[in-house]
Amino acid sequence: MSLDFVSATELDALDPTRVLGGACLGVAAPAVGASWPQQAVSMPLLDGTRSVWHEAWVSDAPVVSGESEGIRWSRSADGVLFGALALPEVGEGPADSTAALRHISELAYARIFRLLDAQGLPHLWRVWNYIPDINGAQAGLERYRQFNLGRGDAFERCARSVTEQVPAACALGVGGGPLSIAFMAGATPVVPIENPRQVSAYRYPDVYGPRSPTFSRAALAHLPGQALFFVSGTASIVGHETLHLGDVVAQTMESLNNVEAVLFEANRIARDGGFSLSDLVYRVYVRDAADAPAVTAAMRERLGAVEMLCVQADVCRSDLLVEVEAHGLRPR
């Protein structure tokens, strides 16, 4: 498997029988289509050189595709599935619902789990969640906390663990549109990785909401001859508290300290070799577009010439100014 970054022209040239799925990010993203599952999210790109970013997970084996309850999905012959769905908050739940995001979050994850069970690939590896107005309030609760309630409800009702054996994930805020979720899953469980510098997200105290987030800090997945490493959305949090309030550069460096910590933990248990920071591909979310040059400079100073995309998005806590996620592939 490979992760390819392509232009719109190159996207059309990819062999659709080999593409599992991908992402299209940018202000024009929703208008760009593909013949495979694609998470299209409207968010400004901040590197100044392009308006749309395309990613494609390309399988070494042929794929088969389908649609189930609004989820477009493809699976490879070697047992990896990519899916994407988008659910609006209007029309999916009770008309008088005051907590629509909670309802559709539970609905979306329940659909995902039904699909994975039906395909015989029950193990969720990585999830990308994009939530409109993530820091806004709904029914007296921050919308991110409503999302956590719905996601956790679905995990429990579909007999999935909400601690320990949970996928890598991120949850970022966008200006509008539906709840957008993309995911990868497989026949074998991932190896969850936690960060010794942080309290596991699923064990956060209730000051952060009535239900803790359901994700691991990172995850290792093993394919025949290949290892995949997913780093969840990572921010300037030590223990469970935000550090460096108001200082975007310090928050960026602390986020990278946390990425390095989970990388070290993953390399301790990797079957055949490990990853380095320079092996990874990075997606960087910046709350204030004006901070992008400082964040990019800090990333380059620490990491060098890695593949990196910087986009504008809201982070799950209003005092967090930046979030970093990463992933890597290497032969075993």
- What amino acid positions are annotated as catalytic residues? 323
In one-letter notation, the amino acid at residue 225 is: G
Q: Is 137 exposed, middle or buried (0-12, 13-18, 19+ CB in 10 A)?
A: exposed
Name the percent of the chain in helix, strand, coil, to the closest 5: 25, 35, 35
Strand pairing class (218-223; 2-6): unpaired
Could you please report the per-residue DSSP string of 141-176? EEHHHHHHHHHHHHHHHTT--SSSS--EEEEEEESS
**Partners of 227 in the beta sheet?**
222, 330
Residues with Cβ < 8 Å from 279, sequence gap 6 or more? 328, 330
Q: Buried b / exposed e across 286-312, counting CB within 10 Å, b at 16+? A: bbeeebbeebbebbeeebeeeebbbbb
CA-based R_g, the chain, Å: 18
Phi, then psi, of 217 in degrees rounded to 5:
-70, -30
Q: 262, 296 in Cβ contact below 8 A?
A: no
What tokens does 95 get? 């008309």
Cα–Cα nearest to 286, from 235, 243, 219: 235
